Chain A
């Protein structure tokens, strides 16, 4: 059973709901330890006093901020809490936005917010259902372990509120300052652009994360198994060469043909029309998925209710055609 990583409350107008925060994601990749080559000696980190060389216990480590010329100001954790009274205990929703408005470059990590006690379930459920109905995410700031987080709180499919930490605008780098040069985009030639768009259209699919697997992690696991068993490690094929500019149209054409052949036996979008489904019971995400399958235009800006109406209309049209 997961332990909460934070206790606090979510503030929504004058409504305050005590919540616990849990990590909603985890890393699945192989975790390597470090050794000195040629030995079986582990590499370990020690936090030592730079002057004495003595190891320093966790409780004796304090934070210092450099103020220039090698001078530091020491800050105690309590002092950090004192400058943000309440912020370290509450997630204050200041506004609501459509999730689609947030550029994914801001997304960091997602957590579950669960009511801290059963008795808070009613207010929690109200907030969750209101967010689901509007399809909007609450934007909130809060402080956790000496760091302020900008977050988006939204209704998840598992009847839980999801909190995703976001990068502040000031965290985003300016490519014009960071890169040696920005790519010079020349207007694409008509037929090449059309063919590239056709290829994108032919590769357009529903987002089903279960369809994607970390094949590299599987290979790392196999490499470990092979080495453990003393088997020969076989190198994989070299990556593809860059496409020559003169071959671009031909390469695109072949790609489109290949996609068409692969898709020839896929079900038509009529399959998305499910007259027996009671749309009123579906979540916004489920309606959005159906809307995508039915090619409903402007669906990203629709509320849940608008999506329901649009899906119903599109389903009827698809069945009739």
Chain B
């Protein structure tokens, strides 16, 4: 449920192959998008390490 006006994805505009899922980097990488067919990091603007998935509540944002 987006709370901000929809942003045009620049990768979609440029017609380049990419994935809107988040690549989870681990020994066996995974993607949050179940339709993702290529776990290449280069295709993923959003990448996170498995170790960083532990919820940590941020105190403030600059």
Asked if B32 is at the interface (CB within 8 A of a chain A CB), the reply is yes
Q: Is there an interface contact between B45 and A71, defined as CB atoms closer than 8 Å?
A: no
A3-B17, A60-B4 given; A70·B38 CB < 8 A: no
| A47–B9 CA distance with the chains assembled, in angstroms | 18
CB B48 to nearest CB in A, in angstroms, measures 10
Instruction: Across the interface, name the chain A residue whose C-beta is closest to B29.
Output: A27
On whether the beta carbons of A74 and B61 are closer than 8 Å, the reply is yes
Within 8 A of A (CB), among B1-60: 1-4, 6-7, 9-11, 14-18, 20-22, 24, 30, 32, 34, 38-46, 55-60
Kindly list chain B residues whose C-beta atoms are within 8 Å of the C-beta of A109. Answer: 40, 42
Q: Which residues of A contact B21 (CB under 8 A)?
A: 45
Q: Does A195 have its Cβ within 8 Å of any Cβ on chain B?
A: no
Query: Is A6 close to B, CB under 8 A?
Result: yes
What chain A residues lie within 8 Å of B14 (beta carbons)? 7
Residue pair B32, A45 in contact (C-beta under 8 Å): yes
Q: How many residues on chain A are close to B (CB under 8 Å)?
A: 43
Cβ of A5 and Cβ of B42 under 8 Å apart?
yes
Checking A2, A64, A72, A146 against B45 with a beta-carbon cut-off of 8 angstroms, the contacting residue is: A146
**Distance in Å: Cβ of B8 to nearest Cβ of chain A:** 8
CB pair B32 A47 closer than 8 Å:
yes
**Also in contact, A6 and B39, with CB within 8 A (given A47-B22, A72-B62):** no
B-contact bits for A70-102, CB 8 A (1 contact / 0 none):
111110010000000000000000000000000
Chain B interface mostly helix, strand, loop or mixed? loop
CB of A121 closer than 8 Å to a CB of B? no
CA distance A269 to B41 in the complex (A): 43
> Smallest distance from the beta carbon of A152 to chain B beta carbons, Å?
15
Report how far A58 CA is from B21 CA in the complex, Å. 7
Q: Is the CB of A58 within 8 A of B20?
A: yes
A71-B60 in contact (CB<8A):
yes
Interface: A172 (CB within 8 A): no
Contact A145 B1 (CB under 8 A): no
Q: With both chains docked as a complex, state the minimum distance between the C-beta of B23 and any C-beta of chain A, in angstroms.
A: 11
Contacts of A64 in B (CB 8 A): 58, 61
From A49-57, A126-134, A273-281, the one touching the partner chain is A49-57
Is there contact, CB below 8 Å, between B61 and A59? Answer: no
Does residue A4 face the partner (Cβ distance < 8 Å to B)? Answer: yes
Given A44-B34, A59-B7, CB of A50 within 8 Å of CB of B16: no
Chain A residues in the interface with B (C-beta under 8 A)? 2-7, 23, 26-27, 33, 42, 44-47, 50-51, 54-61, 63-64, 67, 69-74, 77, 109, 111, 144-147, 149, 165
- Assuming A23-B38, A145-B45, what are 20 further A-B pairs, CB within 8 angstroms? A2-B17, A5-B16, A5-B40, A7-B14, A23-B42, A33-B34, A42-B34, A45-B24, A50-B55, A51-B57, A58-B9, A59-B7, A70-B57, A71-B60, A71-B61, A72-B58, A72-B60, A73-B62, A109-B40, A111-B42
11 A-B Cβ contacts within 8 A? A3-B15, A6-B16, A23-B17, A23-B40, A27-B38, A45-B21, A46-B32, A50-B57, A57-B6, A61-B46, A73-B62
Which are the 4 A-B pairs with shortest beta-carbon distances? Answer: A45-B32, A3-B17, A58-B20, A57-B2
